[in-house]
Amino acid sequence: MRENYLLHKLHSLTGIVPIGFYLVQHLTLNTFSLGGPEKFNGVIAFFDAMPLHFQVALKAVAIWIPLIFHAVYGLFITQRSKQNYTEPAYRFRENRYYTLQRVTGIIAFLFLCYHMTTTSIFGKMYGAEATIQYHNWAGTLSQPVLGVPYVILAVYIIGVVACAYHFSYGIWNFCIRWGITVSQRAQDSTAKLAQAMFIGVSLLGIVALLGFFNPIFQSSEAIEAKSPAVSQEGPVEL
């Protein structure tokens, strides 16, 4: 099966709009963790207060359909791709981008499967108060896994960095594929923009995670309030 020109262009577009836009706003809203439980839980309450039909339509059109298409077709592209960064003759910047884009895509796919299961699905099953509110995060990110603390925090940091790279350098690829950057100078400028965005989006997600460890808002009572029925949750899922 050959790659379809239209589907390839659509795959590139959905990675920027709406998925890339959603990623940035999602991480931005998660930084409300820096304001403590009241601010963070207020974001959750705001979206929970939306009419159900509006929530379903918004998630389907702006999140689920584009994300599923981008992920499935992206895995197809990755499966057909060939390794291009081991031979000395191919060790150029573009080949590095090509390889890391696919590696981070796989990591991001696995991470999002985990994240959505422990937020959207568990949130519907057990309720926001038992899964995705501030005190759940404070306990979950630090709880030991096989006796090792902060494993979940490390998983989320890796996942956030992978998503940030995949999105940021996806912009560089998008501009080339859509004929926006034709000259070498324009591509070099876009590459610098992608580097800055990668750092910025990564820091946005990491800062949001670290907001749950602010000693001002942490207490043993809040951490113990986490439901034992759901042990591995993630940041607020809109």
Exposure string (b/e) for 43-68, b if CB count within 10 Å is 16 or more?
Answer: bbeeeeeeeeeeeeeeeeebbeebbe
Give the 3-state DSSP-derived string for 112-153, with helices as H, strands as E and coil as C: HHHHHHHHHHHHHHHCHHHCCCHHHHHHHCCCCECCECCHHH
Per-residue pLDDT, 149 = 92
Per-residue pLDDT, 228 = 43
Per-residue pLDDT, 226 = 45
Per-residue pLDDT, 84 = 57
Positive or negative torsion for Cα 121, 137, 109, 237: positive
| Domain covering 5-224, topology | 3 helical TM bundles of succinate and fumarate reductases (1.20.1300)
Per-residue pLDDT, 88 = 56
Q: Which of 26-40, 73-87, 196-210 has the lowest mean pLDDT?
A: 73-87
Rounded to two decimals, the pTM is 0.86
Give the closest residue to 105 by CA, choosing from 48, 137, 143, 67.
67
How far is residue 147 from each of residues 33, 42, 151, 231, measured CA to CA in Å?
26, 33, 10, 14
Summarised one tens digit per residue, pLDDT across range 104-157 is 999 999 999 999 999 988 888 888 788 899 999 988 999 899 999 999 999 999
* Average pLDDT of the chain, as a whole number: 86
Measured CA to CA, the distance from residue 217 to residue 138 in angstroms comes to 9
Per-residue pLDDT, 219 = 58
47: left (phi over 0), alpha (psi -120 to 50) or beta: alpha
Summarised one tens digit per residue, pLDDT across range 167-208 is 999 999 999 999 999 999 999 999 999 999 999 999 999 999
